[in-house]
Chain A
Amino acid sequence: MAIEGQYVPVGSSDGAFGEVYDRGYQHYEGSRLGRGHAVHALTTYSMRRALGSKKSWTAKVVPALMYVAAGLMVVIPLGIRAFLDDASVVEYWDYFFSIFVVLGVFVATIAPEMLCNDRSENVLTLYFSRAITRMDYLIAKLVGTALLTLTITLVPMVVYWLGRQLLEDSPLSAMKDNAGDLWRVVVMSLVTAFYLGSVALMISSFTGRKSIAVAVIIVAFLVVSIFSLTLTEVVTDQDVLPYLAILNPLRLVGEFSYGLFGQTMEDTEFGKPLSVWAYAGAMLGTVVFCCGVMYWRYVPAD
């Protein structure tokens, strides 16, 4: 058996039937990349797995349906606008309100895929035997979840923005005039993706069972929303009411979106809105809190 070097033909047939080669064992002499590469590899692999890549078709159904739903929310208004110039279309700040259920189900589906299997199947043992830290692992999972969420928030929104500009009489000048909307869409999508992603991941970090994690994430979103709405009936202090919106994921995302575009929500359950920075701070604070909890969940016992 050849041990190193080139493959060695072990039999000859004068080319009539091909050659049989003993592959031997060859040491790896190529480049070895660092932690950054490992984190990147984990991020991309986790994203592929969460979308059901190289899994049975059933694993692909829910993400695919959510993409279709999010796509329709963009394509339908653009189609109406293409045929009816005067038709009112969904505004950017209303988009997340329109797709929040889709967004919630999507995040509730992919976040458990990111963490639960690694825990329940003990793959964590193998990951941590590689040159990554526990923080690297969590960063890869958070970035992976946020990037996937961006595919259902940012990508349709950018397509929507582009479609609206192309429907104008002068698309190029429309793009130039409405460039401000584009960066707001990007910021809105990024903050929302990390906010929802980190909450869903934090909940998923408490269990190895995907079905439980999915259920708890959806129930948690519903319960805190109902809880905050109930509190608005009880609390009469107008200074306190706006802060209750922070407890309500849908309202928080909505207030942030409206604030970013200089709009104000019409209903007044939560009183006078806070500044957009307050809502952004609340969302980013939630991300930091969730990361802290996840780190505590994954920190070594000794």
Chain B
Amino acid sequence: MTATATRIEVPHAPTPDLGLPAAESVIETRNLTKRFGGVVALDHLDLEVPRAAIGLLGPNGAGKTTLIRLLLGLSRPTSGSASVLGMDTGAEGLKIRQRVGYMPESDVLPSNATAADFVGHMAEMSGIPKVHARQRAADVLYHVGLDEERYRLIKGFSTGMKQRVKLAQAVVHDPSLVFLDEPTAGMDPSGRDAMLELILRVYRLMGMTVVLSSHILEDIERVCDYVIIINGGKLVLSGPIGKTAVDTQEIVVRINSDPQQFMDRLATYGIHEVRLATKGLVTPYPELIVGHGSDAVYDAIRDTAADLGVPLRSLRSRAHSLEEMYLNAVEAGALELESPEEQADGD
């Protein structure tokens, strides 16, 4: 897989003081283990995660949904402990769920209800009085881009609109932390872009700590500051994305034209270390990986694009250590069996 991420820039809003216990880490686990019969879904997981946009990355069946369920207090660990926002998941599951939002991966919306009615109901279920719940539902649906459609029945919504309703119900009670389980699943590229931008707005504008669970590295790279990679229930990596990535001295160029023509033109500027990204996601725009020893390469790329009249879709340094670690995890995980719960939840 080749990272094709372009970081979305959204300004930060101040995070509100919600009177929560002063916790340095929003999520902490100690030897967290979960077994389903003979299958180990999580294996002695030790985490200490700061307030950030957190990416929970792992292949299907890695244990992501199991971890989220444990952190929400919906499932009991076989051994070990976990805390969220300074509260113990075993003893204070209800308190945690008052302060946390959850967007599941599966289809969970009632078809025969309007978006406004259902999101308002979920706000009430989170303890918000009825009169405020309706207002919150209207506001949040506006922010996720469903202002006009909020009085339509959900059964008439597209996949992208349903995902927005799911996001709206997850944030309607203004939680401190929101778990998003595969929020871009089943979406087309433009819908995916829009959802990722929305998630970043939830983090930056709404000031909520976001845990974005995904098996798509690009989604994590575009949105998150911090990444947790798990595979087969084991922790592969946990750390800030900036520190886990190592500059490869390569540039990823996304263009909107014939890549061979672009490569040939680059060669006239003396840039021969160019290759086509081969393991990328399906994308309408070809990507080239250009080696660079100096800033002159950037000028050459710019000039090539100008010469050919080709729009540059994106241009960024390639840092591949995270990507490669993830690829290793995916390859190792290909032989792993999914846990029964993960299969049921469609993780």
Using C-beta atoms within 8 Å of the partner chain, give the interface range for chain B. 35 or more
Partner of A125, one of B104, B114, B125, B128: B104
A49 to B97, CA, bound (A): 25
Contacts of A37 in B (CB 8 A): 124, 127, 129
Q: Are A33 and B129 in contact (CB under 8 A)?
A: yes
Q: Is A25's CB within 8 Å of the partner chain B? A: yes
In the bound complex, residues from chain B placing their C-beta under 8 Å from that of A117 are: 110, 112
Say yes or no for A300: interface residue by CB 8 A criterion.
yes
Q: Is the CB of B106 within 8 A of A122?
A: yes
Contact B205 A302 (CB under 8 A): no
Partner of B108, one of A4, A34, A126: A126
**A 27-48 binary contact with B (CB < 8 Å = 1; else 0):** 1101111110110011001000
Determine the distance from Cα of A171 to Cα of B242 in the docked complex, in whole angstroms: 83
Which residue of A30, A129, A302 contacts B132 across the interface (Cβ within 8 Å)? A30
| Contact, CB under 8 Å: B112 / A131 | no
B226 interfacial contact with A, CB 8 Å: no
Are B107 and A121 in contact (CB-based, < 8 A)?
A: yes
Chain A positions within 8 Å of B14 at CB level = 3-4
In the bound complex, residues from chain B placing their C-beta under 8 Å from that of A4 are 13-14
Which of B20-28, B68-76, B266-274, B326-334 participates in binding chain A?
A: B68-76
Q: With A and B bound together, what is the CA distance between A34 and B99 in angstroms?
A: 12
Query: B206 contacts which of A25, A33, A118, A123 (Cβ < 8 Å)?
Result: A25
- Give chain B interface residues in 67-107, CB to chain A under 8 Å: 72, 74-76, 94-95, 97-98, 100-102, 104, 106-107
Residues of A126-152 contacting chain B, CB below 8 A: 126-133
Q: List A contacts of B341 (CB < 8 A).
A: 302
List of B residues within 8 angstroms of A129 by Cβ: 72, 74, 97, 100-102, 104
Whole-angstrom distance from the CB of A44 to the nearest CB of chain B?
9
Contacts of A297 in B (CB 8 A): none
A107 to B133, CA, bound (A): 30
**Which residue of chain B has its CB nearest to the CB of A45?**
B121
Interface residues of A in 40-83 (CB under 8 A from B): 41-42, 45, 49, 54-56, 59
If over half of A's interface residues share one DSSP class (helix, strand or loop), that class is named, otherwise mixed; here it is: loop
Tell whether, in the assembled complex, residue B129 and residue A31 are in contact, meaning their CB atoms are under 8 Å apart: yes
In the assembly, what is the distance between CA of A56 and CA of B114, in Å?
11
**Given A28-B173, A37-B124, A121 and B110 touching (CB < 8 A)?**
yes
Task: Please determine whether B97 and A28 come into contact, CB atoms closer than 8 angstroms.
Answer: no
Stretch in contact with the other chain, from B135-143, B212-220, B229-237, B243-251: B135-143
| B263 contacts chain A at the CB level, 8 A cutoff | no
Contact of A54 with B125 in the complex, beta carbons under 8 Å:
no
User: Known contacts being A3-B205, A54-B114, A131-B98, is A30 close to B128, with CB within 8 Å?
Assistant: yes
Interface: B122 (CB within 8 A): yes
Least Cβ–Cβ distance between A8 and chain B, in angstroms: 14
Name the residue of chain B whose CB is nearest to the CB of A37.
B127
Q: How far is the CB of A90 from chain B (nearest CB, A)?
A: 38
Report yes or no: A25 in contact with B13, Cβ–Cβ below 8 A.
yes
Closest to B204 in A: A3
Which residues does chain B contribute within 8 Å of A30, judged by CB atoms? 128-129, 132
Shortest Cβ distance from residue A141 to the other chain B in the assembled complex, whole angstroms: 14
User: B36–A126 contact, CB under 8 A?
Assistant: no
Q: A173 on the interface (CB 8 Å rule)?
A: no
Q: Which residues of B contact A55 (CB under 8 A)?
A: 112-113
- Provide a sorted-by-A list of 20 A–B residue pairs whose CB atoms are within 8 angstroms: A3-B13, A3-B205, A4-B14, A23-B139, A23-B142, A24-B205, A25-B143, A28-B136, A32-B173, A41-B130, A45-B121, A121-B107, A121-B110, A122-B104, A122-B106, A123-B110, A126-B102, A126-B108, A129-B72, A131-B95
Q: Which B residues contact A (CB, under 8 angstroms)?
A: 11, 13-14, 16, 36, 72, 74-76, 94-95, 97-98, 100-102, 104, 106-114, 117, 121-122, 124-130, 132, 136, 139, 142-143, 169, 173-174, 205-207, 341
Given A130-B126, A302-B341, 15 more A-B residue pairs with CB atoms under 8 Å apart are A24-B205, A25-B143, A30-B129, A38-B126, A41-B130, A45-B124, A59-B112, A121-B107, A121-B111, A128-B74, A129-B74, A129-B97, A129-B104, A130-B125, A300-B75
